[in-house]
A and B are shown apart, each in its own frame.
Chain A
Amino acid sequence: MNITVRVWRQKNADDKGKMVTYGVENVSEHMSFLEMLDVLNEQLTLSGDDPIAFDHDCREGICGACGVVINGQAHGPQTTTTCQLHMRSFEDGAVIDIEPWRAGAFPVVKDLVVDRSAFDRIIQAGGFISAPTGSAPEANNLPVPKEDADHAFESATCIGCGACVAACPNGSGMLFTAAKITHLGLLPQGQPERDSRVIGMIEQHDHEGFGGCTNIGECTASCPKGIPLDTISRLNRDLLGALAKGKA
């Protein structure tokens, strides 16, 4: 198949940037979306142009490095990561618009590459259990109901790709934050720091310039790992609980 792509090109953070159109020929339907970009980049390199910069690493849907907005949807038409999206999801002759995640908290570094370090700082603000190495008790001394463990796991599968922020009309990072609060808050090990965690993480979230949540639900709908929306309600419950105790 032959396709046309319109790609956001921006030399660096200070550049204004614009959409640039390229044709890509002989695309196989079995190619992944990133492999299609590889092919285009080989063409660009040979013609002496600057290849398109995009983040990617594992290419098996788990590292969370890749992620672009394809035709207005984070990670494209299927709810999966960009690396797991295949060209069979597009038609011959399609015009595909490729843009970076857009968010105030995710400044563009170059082309389709954005800076997601704000997520790391949210984790720093409380997204952990303080368990110094060597101090852990025997693992089976603390039974965890299977249902809670399974729920915690579900939230812990977040890959930190940022699709939730890119899809959210408010540029909110609430689903990412809520996934971590849910993961740790459901486990008995996570209880001692539960209040300080939610307050610290929300303060950091707001400080980073993420938007406020208006419960539209696009985050969950675009999440390649299907992090459920009720995690946000759980975050709110934890936050209200912590505030009621005067922990702010």
Chain B
Amino acid sequence: MTITEPYKNPSEQFHAVGEDIVDLKAPSGPIEKRWDDRKFNAKLVNPANRRKLSVLVVGTGLAGASAAATLGEAGYHVRSFCYQDSPRRAHSIAAQGGINAAKNYRNDGDSIYRLFYDTVKGGDFRARESNVYRLAQVSVNIIDQCVAQGVPFAREYGGLLDNRSFGGVQVSRTFYARGQTGQQLLIGAYQALERQIAAGTVEMNTRHEMLELIMVPDANGVERARGIIVRDMVTGEIETHTADAVVLASGGYGNVFFLSTNAMGCNTTATWRAHRKGAYFANPCYTQIHPTCIPVSGDYQSKLTLMSESLRNDGRIWVPAKLGDDRVASQIPEDERDYYLERIYPAFGNLVPRDIASRAAKYQCDAGKGVGPGGLGVYLDFADAIERLGRPAVEAKYGNLFDMYAQITGEDPYSEPMRIYPAVHYTMGGLWVDYDLQSNLTGLFVAGEANFSEHGANRLGASALMQGLADGYFVLPYTLANYLADGPYEKVADDHPAVLEAKAAVENRISTLLSINGTRTVDSYHKELGQIMWDYCGMERTEEGLTKAIGMIRDLKTDFWANVKVTGVNEELNQTLERAGRVADFFELGELMCIDALNRRESCGGHFRAESQTEDGEALRHDDEFAYVSAWEFGDKQPTLHKEPLEYEYVEMKSRSYK
């Protein structure tokens, strides 16, 4: 499909528009054969040659740990990096709900095709069909692999694996380990990784942060990703690591909002530094906002905690009908409450999709009906459920979530309704990759949340874990081998000009940050940036707001580089310095997110433009104009937009309705 431009998009004051791009690795033919074909056509590496080939893997979450372990086991020389003190702490560990797989153990009509179909549709037709189909195919192998590793999934009394339905889909295909599925899967991958470390195939570098990518031209003049510059976070030493290929599995960028469900250390530095070196950043504006988080309690708040969406199965969401009603919840009579989801969406009620539930809560709070500190919260009430099912049944189902809520808020959710508010949870955007998970930079592969691929504009529940492990266990080992088969490449000397330049750039940046010695703390800038992003590039975006936000971010960034105060020196454990570097990159990413959101004058998945909605306030896609991936090329003055058109051969593009 070719895209003609009937008008000049107002976003173009901030960016250029370049050539369309295509995924050169995208296979054709019947969709169920494409991955097999790709695997068959991929070049193989003789086992004896593998140890001469080296790979750097940044990040040890599900994607990074599984990739490093599998590549190490295959015999490649792997070096792995994480900023945490142990690979076991990567933020995949916090995923609660589960992992999807098309096993059809429940005999309820699930299949690879249905998982594929649901994922494409859930992504609001902004993901590639081929990639999604492959994801659904390997989902089956993931469960087998994890069980073999000893992941203690929930089981039936007969000893077979249990499943539950998740995120509004009609089949039960989600495998889970109580509310700690991410933890159990990550520990499985971590153990596999530690096994390879013991075997000497993987060298682990904990408390190391990647600060720059090294691109080196080969003999034919082809620029290849050949290494990274990292900082040893204990000693401050700036180290150079070179190899034949680089894998980034460094996670998402939700922390651009300061408050999110991400871990405090999650950051975009690895992906952003690669972007600055030429890697395209795709769909940065697609952010997923989760409706059932515990609200902010004060300006000291450092992070938000998610509670499983399953709470909406039995809880009823409401706000006081009257403005300024400050009675405690239990004192407000039934007819003075507004169960607004049930009122507006009678068919789905409290179970409408995440983005609709989130936005509806925002509208209520914007209208002044919010409850709790700052009026940023709505009630999630279990009084009816407790009356209907009895307290023991509610405790059995949700006890751990109620305990978590009580621990954090100091309130008893059995006697007063919980307060909830949406929070940023996952970012679908990320570095652009082809079918092989290789970015437009040769030799740079990107896996997991760090890439943009499988989820389109919106991710289904229990699909993040699936994608991370699919990339690491089952995709990269083939596609990366195909790339490495042409190696080993000529060794890059530590004094190669490209290395020296990258190293000098890192050192300059650090010494600049340390020398400003201004008057404001790093966190204060981060909080202000987060507020701008939340207000103008959060649940609802407008042309006016985004334009304003871009100006505000630019001003704030300028102020940051003039007034930030970073204490201490480089040659020590310096957590302020670490944060300063990450926030500096968030400014640039935040600006690009706003530009991307401004360009996409449609509403789709996790991106809602107020200008593009139906009369009923539903998201309105514009497939004729925007059925493309926005891949952004970095530019010193302004970014350039490259469009990758999306075509749907198997799933018909439809718009959804939840009324």
Direct contact between A and B judged by beta carbons closer than 8 A: yes
Please list the residues of chain A having a beta carbon within 8 angstroms of any beta carbon in chain B.
11-12, 28-32, 34-35, 38-39, 42, 44-46, 48-51, 53, 55-65, 80, 84, 86, 88, 109-110, 113, 115-117, 119-120, 123-125, 127-140, 142-146, 149-150, 152-153, 156-157, 159-160, 183-184, 187, 189-190
Q: Is the CB of B153 within 8 A of A84?
A: no
B-chain residues with CB within 8 Å of residue A53 when the two chains form the complex: 573, 575
Q: Is the CB of B187 within 8 A of A143?
A: no
Q: Is the CB of A131 within 8 A of B149?
A: yes
Q: Is the CB of A48 within 8 A of B567?
A: yes
In the bound complex, CA of A45 to CA of B566 (Å)? 8
B70, B159, B180, B474: the one within 8 Å of A62 (CB): B180
Q: Is the CB of B194 within 8 A of A184?
A: no
Q: Is B154 an interface residue (CB 8 A)?
A: yes
A-chain residues with CB within 8 Å of residue B88 when the two chains form the complex: 64, 120, 160
Q: Is the CB of B265 within 8 A of A124?
A: no
B158, B159, B264, B524: the one within 8 Å of A57 (CB): B264
User: Could you give, for residues 120-156 of chain B, a 1 whenever the CB lies within 8 Å of some chain A CB and a 0 otherwise?
Assistant: 0000000000000000000001011111111011111
Given A30-B298, A140-B105, do A130 and B89 touch, yes or no (CB 8 Å)?
A: no
List, sorted by A's number, 16 A–B pairs whose CB atoms are closer than 8 Å. Answer: A35-B300, A51-B575, A63-B84, A63-B91, A64-B89, A110-B572, A123-B194, A124-B194, A128-B192, A131-B149, A136-B149, A137-B148, A143-B159, A146-B159, A149-B154, A156-B177
Q: Is the CB of B265 within 8 A of A39?
A: no
Q: Is B93 an interface residue (CB 8 A)?
A: yes
B326-334, B406-414, B638-646: which lies at the interface: B406-414
Question: Counting chain A CB atoms within 10 Å of each CB, which of B261, B410, B565 scores highest?
Answer: B410
Query: A189 — nearest CB in chain B belongs to which residue?
Result: B150
Q: Is the CB of A49 within 8 A of B152?
A: no
Query: B294 — nearest CB in chain A belongs to which residue?
Result: A60
In the bound complex, CA of A113 to CA of B572 (Å)? 12
B548–chain A nearest beta-carbon distance, Å = 28
B69, B86, B306, B408: the one within 8 Å of A160 (CB): B86
Q: Is the CB of B152 within 8 A of A183?
A: yes
A57, A140, A143, A189: the one within 8 Å of B265 (CB): A57
In the bound complex, CA of A202 to CA of B86 (Å)? 20
Given A30-B298, A62-B93, A146-B155, do A80 and B407 touch, yes or no (CB 8 Å)?
A: yes
Q: Is B40 an interface residue (CB 8 A)?
A: no
Q: Is B338 an interface residue (CB 8 A)?
A: no
Q: Is the CB of A62 within 8 A of B573?
A: no
In the bound complex, CA of A44 to CA of B289 (Å)? 34
A-chain residues with CB within 8 Å of residue B410 when the two chains form the complex: 29-30, 86, 88
Query: B70 — nearest CB in chain A belongs to which residue?
Result: A133
B89, B155, B572: the one within 8 Å of A144 (CB): B155
In the bound complex, CA of A72 to CA of B474 (Å)? 47
Q: Is B539 an interface residue (CB 8 A)?
A: no
Given A35-B300, A45-B521, A110-B573, do A145 and B159 touch, yes or no (CB 8 Å)?
A: yes
Q: Is the CB of A65 within 8 A of B145?
A: no
Mostly, the A contact residues are: loop
A164–chain B nearest beta-carbon distance, Å = 15
Q: Is the CB of A63 within 8 A of B150?
A: no
Known: A139-B148, A149-B153. 16 other contacts (CB 8 A): A28-B300, A30-B298, A42-B523, A57-B91, A63-B263, A115-B85, A116-B86, A128-B192, A132-B73, A134-B141, A135-B148, A140-B161, A145-B159, A146-B157, A187-B150, A189-B150
B-chain residues with CB within 8 Å of residue A46 when the two chains form the complex: 519, 521, 565
B263, B302, B306: the one within 8 Å of A34 (CB): B302
Q: Is the CB of A86 within 8 A of B407?
A: yes
B85, B141, B474: the one within 8 Å of A116 (CB): B85
B-chain residues with CB within 8 Å of residue A42 when the two chains form the complex: 521, 523-524
B-chain residues with CB within 8 Å of residue A124 when the two chains form the complex: 194-195, 197-198
User: Could you give, for residues 165-191 of chain B, a 1 whenever the CB lies within 8 Å of some chain A CB and a 0 otherwise?
Assistant: 000000000000110100110010011
B535–chain A nearest beta-carbon distance, Å = 22
Q: Is B382 an interface residue (CB 8 A)?
A: no
In the bound complex, CA of A110 to CA of B198 (Å)? 28
B238–chain A nearest beta-carbon distance, Å = 18
In the bound complex, CA of A57 to CA of B302 (Å)? 11
Please list the residues of chain B having a beta carbon within 8 angstroms of any beta carbon in chain A.
66, 69-70, 73, 84-89, 91, 93-94, 103, 105, 141, 143-150, 152-161, 177-178, 180, 183-184, 187, 190-192, 194-195, 197-198, 204, 206, 234, 261, 263-265, 297-298, 300-303, 305-306, 404, 407-410, 473-474, 477, 519, 521, 523-524, 565, 567-568, 572-573, 575-576
B-chain residues with CB within 8 Å of residue A120 when the two chains form the complex: 86-88, 194, 197, 204, 206
A89–chain B nearest beta-carbon distance, Å = 10
Q: Is the CB of B477 within 8 A of A133?
A: yes
In the bound complex, CA of A150 to CA of B567 (Å)? 48
A119–chain B nearest beta-carbon distance, Å = 7
In the bound complex, CA of A144 to CA of B311 (Å)? 29
Q: Is the CB of A133 within 8 A of B177?
A: no
Given A58-B94, A157-B180, A160-B86, do A136 and B409 touch, yes or no (CB 8 Å)?
A: no
Q: Is the CB of A131 within 8 A of B94?
A: no
In the bound complex, CA of A39 to CA of B69 (Å)? 40
Q: Is the CB of B158 within 8 A of A117?
A: no
In the bound complex, CA of A12 to CA of B148 (Å)? 42
A61–chain B nearest beta-carbon distance, Å = 8
Q: Is the CB of B191 within 8 A of A57?
A: no
Q: Is the CB of B191 within 8 A of A156?
A: no
A-chain residues with CB within 8 Å of residue B147 when the two chains form the complex: 136, 139, 142, 189
Given A143-B158, A187-B150, do A49 and B263 touch, yes or no (CB 8 Å)?
A: no
In the bound complex, CA of A145 to CA of B154 (Å)? 10
B307–chain A nearest beta-carbon distance, Å = 10
B69, B143, B519: the one within 8 Å of A139 (CB): B143
B193–chain A nearest beta-carbon distance, Å = 9
In the bound complex, CA of A91 to CA of B573 (Å)? 32
B-chain residues with CB within 8 Å of residue A123 when the two chains form the complex: 190-191, 194
Q: Is the CB of B567 within 8 A of A49?
A: yes
B-chain residues with CB within 8 Å of residue A49 when the two chains form the complex: 567
A-chain residues with CB within 8 Å of residue B148 when the two chains form the complex: 129, 131, 135-137, 139, 189
In the bound complex, CA of A128 to CA of B572 (Å)? 34
B-chain residues with CB within 8 Å of residue A12 when the two chains form the complex: 572-573
A60, A86, A139: the one within 8 Å of B144 (CB): A139
Question: Counting chain B CB atoms within 10 Å of each CB, which of A60, A80, A189 scores highest?
Answer: A60
Q: Is the CB of B407 within 8 A of A117?
A: no
In the bound complex, CA of A113 to CA of B265 (Å)? 15
Q: Is the CB of A38 within 8 A of B523?
A: yes
B-chain residues with CB within 8 Å of residue A142 when the two chains form the complex: 147
Question: Counting chain B CB atoms within 10 Å of each CB, which of A31, A59, A113 scores highest?
Answer: A59
Query: B187 — nearest CB in chain A belongs to which residue?
Result: A156
In the bound complex, CA of A142 to CA of B155 (Å)? 11
A-chain residues with CB within 8 Å of residue B143 when the two chains form the complex: 139
Q: Is the CB of A65 within 8 A of B94?
A: no
Given A56-B264, A144-B159, do A127 and B194 touch, yes or no (CB 8 Å)?
A: yes
Given A128-B195, A153-B184, A189-B150, do A38 and B302 touch, yes or no (CB 8 Å)?
A: yes
B86, B183, B261: the one within 8 Å of A119 (CB): B86
Query: A156 — nearest CB in chain B belongs to which residue?
Result: B152
A-chain residues with CB within 8 Å of residue B198 when the two chains form the complex: 124-125
Q: Is the CB of B298 within 8 A of A187?
A: no
A-chain residues with CB within 8 Å of residue B521 when the two chains form the complex: 42, 45-46
B-chain residues with CB within 8 Å of residue A184 when the two chains form the complex: 150
B304–chain A nearest beta-carbon distance, Å = 9
In the bound complex, CA of A151 to CA of B385 (Å)? 30
Q: Which 10 interchain pairs have the tightest Cβ spacing?
A: A143-B159, A136-B148, A128-B191, A131-B148, A124-B198, A153-B152, A136-B144, A139-B147, A57-B263, A30-B297
B-chain residues with CB within 8 Å of residue A58 when the two chains form the complex: 89, 91, 93-94, 263-264
Q: Is the CB of B195 within 8 A of A130?
A: yes
Given A131-B149, A146-B156, A189-B150, do A65 and B84 touch, yes or no (CB 8 Å)?
A: yes
In the bound complex, CA of A119 to CA of B85 (Å)? 11
